[in-house]
Amino acid sequence: MLKAYYYLLFRDLRLALRNRHELANPLIFFVLVVTLFPLAVTPTPETLQTMAPGVIWVSALLAVLLSLDRLFKQDYEDGSLDQLMLSPNPLVILVLAKVTAHWLLTGLPLVIIAPLLGLFMSLPMEAVIVLIYSLLLGTPVLSLIGAIGVSLTVAVNRGGVLLSLIILPLYIPILIFGANAVDVAMAGLPVSGQLLFLGAVLALSVSLAPLATSVALRITASR
């Protein structure tokens, strides 16, 4: 069972490494949006600081949203998804492998580049550290919840709008608590409340989202 998890994870990572330009898309989107913002507003350190948590978090969220399509689309179109569903291994484990690969390829790069953008938006060091933590806890949730939406819409032609409608409401709490943690850190207040909330949501979605995703995939396949 664990083997099936690793095999699928490595297959997805290998596929992504052979297709690097696709890999760079969400990251470039993230960097571009955050760097364009100071050009559009008065770039005084104070304005940038107030906007920074929100701007960085919203761009990270949209970057993940844009990359979600990749999660099951290719497998659906070439029939591999059927083979995954016909595997003797539990579908939940395979879904978890695919989501892990998705996070390693989109969420993790965002977390790594975020501190640089934080400094660029003249965030103080304490806030940058909290930004890393909040993204580290928040981006896996974005991938996990996104997987539910993608599995419902993968069979729909141009399902992008539908996908956003389904999952954006579920993303909002993550956005609020993630950005708020950085805000609070800038004010020098304790952030453990926000981070614990993000951690709890992460634990909840790791245990429940793959189940929901595999049920949704079976519904999609039965059409």
Partner 1 sequence: MLEAQSLECVRDDRLLFSGLSFSVSDAEVMQIEGHNGSGKTSLLRIICGLRQPEAGQVMWQGESIKSNRESYYENMVYIGHLPCIKADLTVLENVRSLLDTRSLALANSIIETALENVGLASYEDVQGKALSSGQRRRILLAFLELAQAKLWILDEPLTALDVQGVDLMESMILDHRQAGGSVIFTTHHGMQLDCEMRSVHLGHSNYQE
Residues contributing to the site for partner 1 (CB under 8 A): 3-4, 7-8, 11, 14-15, 18-19, 74, 77-80, 82-89, 94, 221-223
Question: HSE on the CB side for 153, CA within 13 Å?
Answer: 20
CB of 4 to partner 1, least distance (A): 6
Q: Are 96 and 11 in contact (CB under 8 A)?
A: no
CB of 203 to partner 1, least distance (A): 27
**Cβ partners under 8 Å of residue 166, min gap 6:** 148, 149, 152, 153
Given the complex with partner 1, which of 3 and 158 has the nearer CB atom? 3
CB of 94 to partner 1, least distance (A): 8
User: Which amino acid is residue 111, in one-letter code?
Assistant: V
CB of 162 to partner 1, least distance (A): 20
Given the complex with partner 1, which of 105 and 184 has the nearer CB atom? 105
Given the complex with partner 1, which of 93 and 119 has the nearer CB atom? 93
Given the complex with partner 1, which of 14 and 36 has the nearer CB atom? 14
Given the complex with partner 1, which of 2 and 40 has the nearer CB atom? 2
CB of 1 to partner 1, least distance (A): 8
User: Which amino acid is residue 56, in one-letter code?
Assistant: I
Q: Are 180 and 191 in contact (CB under 8 A)?
A: no
Report the interhelical angle of 125-153 vs 108-120 (nearest 10°). 140
**Cβ partners under 8 Å of residue 201, min gap 6:** 137, 141, 173, 174, 177
